[in-house]
Amino acid sequence: MDQAQSTHNGKKKIGRWLLGAALLIILSLFLHDRSEYLDKNSKMNDEIQELQALNGESFLRLLERSPSFLPLAEQIDDLRNVPNGQSPTRVVKLIEQVKASSFEMEEELSVLISRTGSGESDPDKRMEERNAALSLAYGGNPLSVVTSLSFQYWKSDPKELSELALYHLGLMAKEIRLMDKDLDKLRHYVNEALQEPRLKEDSYRMSGYAIMNENEFLKTILVHLKKIAVISDNYQTALYS
């Protein structure tokens, strides 16, 4: 009986030892896997941060080198100041210049808008802002008004430029100047910041600075493009009223 009890107790001790060893092995494997996961996750986060910094720097470089829109405003003024009796060749040339520059502004703003979002914490909100800005970049420019002006000019006999269209183009030129002034401030700040070595060496700093300027860029152009779009809508309303 004692021998049987002793054998039974020995088996229980062996069972406990095996169970303990198995638990230690499982715990060791778990900790190893967790350590690998955390290490991979950390590396992935670092890579994401570096990518966001690169995307952010790309936007900043584009903004820094973006052209001024003042030539478009000046071309509109030239068109508005055409004297009566000017040759159609001269008038058409000015109209086509305004059309081309309007299209270039649209394309330039669209490229910049599409590059925003390098690390926004709320991507859905940024997507909504970006779509609104893109819509305004296509609609909030002089292209539709100057196209209408061109059509009316060719229909007129004798050849005359629409005073209504010229008036609204003048309002747009004023707003374009204000937008370019605000964007020029951003270009200046970005140019100075990109000369700072610490910004280039720190991906977190670069990403944060890019997000700040992307927000400021979108806020700036939305204010002005909305006003230009309203001017365009007012022109269409007056034209068909």
| Residue 199 to residue 206: CA distance in whole angstroms | 5
Q: Per-residue pLDDT for 230 more than 80?
A: yes
Structural domain containing residue 155: 48-239
Q: Per-residue pLDDT for 104 more than 50?
A: yes
Identify whether 120 is part of a domain: yes
Identify whether 30 is part of a domain: no
| Residue 148 to residue 200: CA distance in whole angstroms | 47
Identify whether 57 is part of a domain: yes
Identify whether 41 is part of a domain: no
Q: Per-residue pLDDT for 21 more than 90?
A: no
Identify whether 101 is part of a domain: yes
Identify whether 1 is part of a domain: no
Q: 113 and 134 in contact (C-beta within 8 Å)?
A: yes
| Residue 207 to residue 51: CA distance in whole angstroms | 9
Identify whether 81 is part of a domain: yes
Query: How high is the pLDDT of residue 33?
Result: 56
| Residue 103 to residue 84: CA distance in whole angstroms | 27
Instruction: Report CA torsion sign: 218, 224, 226, 228.
Output: negative
Q: Per-residue pLDDT for 120 more than 80?
A: no
Q: 52 and 118 in contact (C-beta within 8 Å)?
A: yes
**Tally of domains within the chain:** 1
Residue type, 115: R
pTM for this structure? 0.76
Residues 28-87 pLDDT 10s: 655 555 555 444 444 444 443 444 545 678 888 889 999 999 999 999 999 999 987 889
